Amino acid sequence: MKKAFPVLGVLTAILLGYALYQALVVAPTEKTMGDVQRIFYYHVPSAWTAFILFFINFGASVVYLIKRNPAADIVALVCAEVGVVFCTVVLVTGPIWARPVWGIWWTWDMRLTSTLVLWLIYVSYLFLRRFSSGGQTPTLAAALAVLGALCVPFVYFSIWFFRTQHPQPVMGGGGSIDPRMLHALLINWLAFSCFAFLVCWSRYRLEKLQREVDQAHAMQSLLDPTGSVR
């Protein structure tokens, strides 16, 4: 498995380069928005990737609540952390696109506001994991993750249920898209999904190792009553 990581890393880097080429060169320029529309090839795949990671976090949290499996707890933590990174990208690239197209950086529209709330929920999840030291922390975090996951479909469907300034969905929204644009979008999604998978894998290994080291420290403290070991 360790040998597969660098190989997958190189393949993902090539895929990300190809996806960038598709987004900037191959995909046609949109008539009304111009080149600024190309932000969509990073914004939308980042949002989809974040949603998938939050759903995996939800599944792993449920597994943890039922089975108390530490591996599920690590998966939940890792997916929340990487999901927050992708959600941050969404919240930053969205206003950069909105400024030239809408004339404003931000509006308290349902899609934008619910995405910000979703981000805040998962940031609070990470704060809980980081700063709470009690034995119940993983259980409390898992319960928060279950509630946070309920927000994901709300964010996704908010543009159907509410009058919003946000563009309608690319797929299932009744509109049409140039096949080259769709290809660029899907390639970018695939590339960012592979990238997210590798980051999660790396972060999982780190977290597992960290817990082993923490256990070793605890054991060493027990075996050294003088307290000379930190």
Site residues for other proteins per CB under 8 A: 20, 24-25, 29, 34-36, 38-39, 42-43, 46, 82, 85, 88-89, 92-93, 96-97, 99-100, 195, 199, 202-203, 206, 209-210, 213, 216-217, 220
Please say which residue, 100 or 153, places its beta carbon nearer to other proteins: 100
Q: At its nearest, how many Å lie between other proteins and the CB of residue 43?
A: 7
Q: At its nearest, how many Å lie between other proteins and the CB of residue 19?
A: 11
Q: Tell me the CA distances in angstroms from 203 to 15, 29, 124, 226, one per residue in order.
A: 21, 37, 19, 34
Please say which residue, 56 or 65, places its beta carbon nearer to other proteins: 56
Please say which residue, 48 or 65, places its beta carbon nearer to other proteins: 48
Please say which residue, 65 or 192, places its beta carbon nearer to other proteins: 192
Distance CA 219, CA 176 (A): 61
Please say which residue, 67 or 217, places its beta carbon nearer to other proteins: 217
Q: Please, where are the H alpha helices in 162-178?
A: none
Q: At its nearest, how many Å lie between other proteins and the CB of residue 112?
A: 16
Please say which residue, 31 or 163, places its beta carbon nearer to other proteins: 31
Q: Tell me the CA distances in angstroms from 109 to 26, 32, 115, 156, 163, one per residue in order.
A: 32, 22, 10, 13, 8
Q: Tell me the CA distances in angstroms from 170 to 35, 48, 206, 229, one per residue in order.
A: 18, 12, 36, 58
Burial 174-201 (b: 16+ CB within 10 A, else e): eeeeeeebeebbbbbbbbbbbbbebbbb
| Residue the block writes with tokens 């993983």 | 138
Task: Give the three-state DSSP class for 34.
Answer: strand
